[in-house]
Amino acid sequence: MPKSNFIKDNQSIIIGAVAIYFGYNSIIKPLLETLGISKSQAEININQESINPSSAWNPNFWKKQMPATILTDNAANNFVNTIWNSVGWFSDDFDSVLGVFKQLKTKSQVSYLVDKFNQAHQKDLLNWLLGGNAWSYPADRFSANQVKILVDYVNSLKNY
């Protein structure tokens, strides 16, 4: 009886395993992330930023060192409204949100804006920007890459 060749005998299993691996990474995983069933690494990093107590995305950051550079209530309310109204049924306006953040000069101003957003809408701004899953409006909001642009910009600002 001839010796069996491992690759030849298990060819179907090997091909199937390779197909599953590449199919999962290129089709199934992105689909699960799009539907909100699974989180991407970028979303995980953003969620870590939102729970970091020393982050500018924390509504209490601006209160840690007084006097802090903050916004006027009028400016903060206008920014909150601009951000809140940046999402729509068919399209979202990331440029208007980016424009708001480009006007902020310190992390304390970001934190104050986060605080005002939370007071107005009872939502965590960073998580709200990222959104949730595709099943509820307007849960899709901005991509993890777009939100990462905001996080990176904010992290480059001086503290107070």
**CB-CB contact of 108 with 55 (8 Å):** no
Of 25-34, 38-47, 50-59, 150-159, where does mean pLDDT reach its minimum? 25-34
pLDDT, mean of residues 139-160:
92
Q: Which pLDDT band holds residue 44 (cuts at 50, 70, 90)?
A: confident
Give the pLDDT of residue 45. Answer: 81
In a 13 Å sphere around the CA of 122, the CA atoms on its Cβ side amount to: 0
- What one-character-per-residue DSSP string does 56-89 give? TTSTTGGGSSSS-----HHHHHHHHHHHHTT--S
Whether 81 has a pLDDT exceeding 90, the answer reads yes
**pLDDT averaged over the chain?**
84
Of 130, 124, 128, the residue nearest 146 (C-alpha): 130
Whether 31 has a pLDDT exceeding 90, the answer reads no
Question: How far is Cα 84 from Cα 79, in angstroms, rounded to an integer?
Answer: 8
pTM assigned to the model: 0.76
Q: Which pLDDT band holds residue 130 (cuts at 50, 70, 90)?
A: confident
Q: Which of residues 13 and 126 earns the better pLDDT score?
A: 126
Give the pLDDT of residue 154. Answer: 98
Q: Is 91 helix (H, G, I), strand (E, B) or coil?
A: coil
Whether 115 has a pLDDT exceeding 70, the answer reads yes
Supply angle C-alpha 70, 108, 72, rounded to 5: 15
91's tokens: 């399209």
* Rg of the chain taking only CA atoms, in angstroms: 22
Give the pLDDT of residue 70. Answer: 95
Whether 25 has a pLDDT exceeding 80, the answer reads no
